[in-house]
Amino acid sequence: MTEGVHGEIHVTDPSVCRVSEASAETSVESVSRSVAADNDTAAVEFTAPSSAAIDDADEVFHHEQKTIYRVTSGPAEGPRCACELVECHGCPVRHLEAECGTVVLSFVASDLTSFRDIVVNLKSEFDGISLRRLTQSEPDSVSSSLVFVDRDKLTARQREVLETAHEMGYFEHPREANATEVAAALDINRSTFTEHLSAAQSKLLDAILDV
């Protein structure tokens, strides 16, 4: 039986690492990371256009119009980046990428409690931490069915409607606020509120039920 949890975390804090800074300035591809056997030195490589002229990064390979850059960090007190913080919990980072200043990393924790502890730790160290995908193993099944909800499927307005309705207790039993009250808080009419809410709920159910 396994209770493994696979999550994808987005980090928008520019202080996370040099790759985050580089991706805000130019396109970044093929991000990879390694840690030395002594666990004191970490190296991150990424590919970017040769014209980018990225500071504080070593050029290790050049081909046509693209260059592979390497950033190496030495011993330091405490975690130096989000990846190292995750790995301090004994969870290797399975996937790493950066785009427009946002670092995307994924890892697997042994259970939901361990995963929650890592996310809390990340939020205590960095700003702009958001959970975008979360999947959990199905115990006692021959093959695990991974299910995730991509919040990016929702429009900004749909997310606002869901968040406001949740905060006001619209989904509580009994309800702490009705549709008219939530719509008034959003400064929209009741029919518009129900339209956005219905669309958001349909998208979430489609993802959960794999429709």
CA 29 to chain centroid, in Å, comes to 17
d(CA 190, CA 161): 12
Q: How many residues does the chain have?
A: 211
For the chain, which domains are there?
5-135 (no CATH), 153-209 (1.10.10)
b or e along 62-96 (b: 16 or more beta carbons within 10 Å of the residue's beta carbon)?
eeeebbbbebebeeeeebebbbbbbbeeebebeeb
pLDDT at residue 10 greater than cutoff 90? no
Spell out the SS3 assignment of 163-179. HHHHHCCCCCCCCCCCH
**Residues 171-190: tens digit of each pLDDT:** 887 788 999 999 999 999 99
Does residue 22 contact residue 54 with C-beta atoms inside 8 Å?
A: yes
CB-neighbour burial class of residue 183 (10 A; exposed 0-12, middle 13-18, buried 19+): buried
Query: Where does the pLDDT of residue 25 fall: very low under 50, low under 70, confident under 90, or very high at 90 and above?
Result: confident
**Residues 115-163: tens digit of each pLDDT:** 888 988 888 888 888 887 888 776 655 444 555 666 777 888 999 999 9
Query: Where does the pLDDT of residue 1 fall: very low under 50, low under 70, confident under 90, or very high at 90 and above?
Result: very low
**DSSP annotation of 143:** S
Query: Both tokens of residue 124?
Result: 């205590």
Return the pLDDT at 143.
45
Closest to 44 (Cα-Cα) out of 17, 5, 9: 17
Query: Both tokens of residue 51?
Result: 């014209």
Higher pLDDT, 36 or 79: 36
Query: In Å, what is the CA distance from 167 to each residue of 144, 172, 185?
Result: 33, 10, 11
d(CA 95, CA 87): 13
